Chains A and B, each alone.
Chain A
């Protein structure tokens, strides 16, 4: 999966945050809607669409969406 597509899918996990607010450099954990439930949705989409396992600790360790993408791709 390319970064652009990842960012798009990542943004889809949010209900109320407009996708235009989320780019590769967004610090997602500072978004108002970010929560452990959204985190769980991200974990699920990474598993289903990318076949990779990302943990809650991984989500905490990354700041930007791109960082998370790179971490996942390195797995």
Chain B
């Protein structure tokens, strides 16, 4: 039994986007602890440096990039080594009643949560940076099946990425590349600290969850490890809810 660990990421190189904070940072850290070589990307170089300090191992690297800027994506794709796993964590929160939505805002949310991930993924494939039998993970959201007030644009962007991922799974299956989505309910990150929602309110609201709390970034990171590891090698085209048991956000 000694050494048996189907969740090991030893020998794998994994790209994590949105790694300067929240779920992305937790995922990058967890991957390195499981033995992976991590390439962490995010917009903010200082925050990425802070992430790098939390990573185990000497071969990890950070590359600053704003994935909504095409030139940055091109540079990133050019610089990174061949990958065995990608975790798309980059994204923004947004809360605004439908009546007040401006198209500029909707475009910003769609760009950050959907288009930039699609663009990166497309360019990675075309640059042949995605190894056979890789695992691609999108951190989506439970929002598409848990509609909430003010969440229209955000929910639509997450529904879009789920739809994309499901088709991508079919197209990459011949190369044994797996594509799955993680759909978390509320997780304690900067993303949920939106305008007009106080921490105290959220602390109260989380008690409505059956497990009496919102998620922590590590809760999501651990699921990402499973999806990146060979333990999940028969798993593709899935969307996994991780919600503390709640049916509503």
Contacts and interface: CB of A to CB of B under 8 A. Distances in A.
Interface of A: 36-37, 40-41, 43-44, 47, 53-58
Contacts of B96: 40, 44
Given A40-B149, A40-B150, A56-B201, A47 B195 contact: yes
A41 B97 contact: yes
Contacts of A58: 198
Main SS at interface, chain B: loop
B15 to A, nearest CB: 35
B236 to A, nearest CB: 38
B196 interface: yes
A26 B107 CA distance: 38
B198 A44 contact: no
A15 B40 CA distance: 47
Interface in B165-207: 195-198, 200-201
Interface string B91-105: 000011101100000
10 contacts: A40-B95, A40-B149, A41-B99, A43-B196, A44-B96, A47-B195, A53-B195, A53-B196, A54-B196, A55-B198
Interface residues of B toward A: which range? 10 to 19
A40 B100 CA distance: 10
Contacts of A55: 196-198, 201
Contacts of B200: 57
B104 to A, nearest CB: 13
A24 to B, nearest CB: 22
Interface of B: 95-97, 99-100, 149-150, 195-198, 200-201
Main SS at interface, chain A: helix
Given A43-B195, A47-B195, A37 B201 contact: no
Contacts of A36: 149
A47 B99 CA distance: 15
A53 B193 CA distance: 12
A44 B97 contact: yes
Contacts of B196: 40, 43-44, 47, 53-56
Given A36-B149, A37-B149, A56 B197 contact: yes
Contacts of B198: 55-58
A59 B179 CA distance: 43
A14 to B, nearest CB: 12
Nearest to A39: B196
Contact of B100 (A41, A53, A56, A57): A41
Nearest to B204: A57
A63 B95 CA distance: 25
Contacts of A53: 195-196
A57 B201 contact: yes
Which residue, B95, B150, B196, has most C-beta atoms of chain A within 10 A?
Answer: B196
A47 B102 CA distance: 14
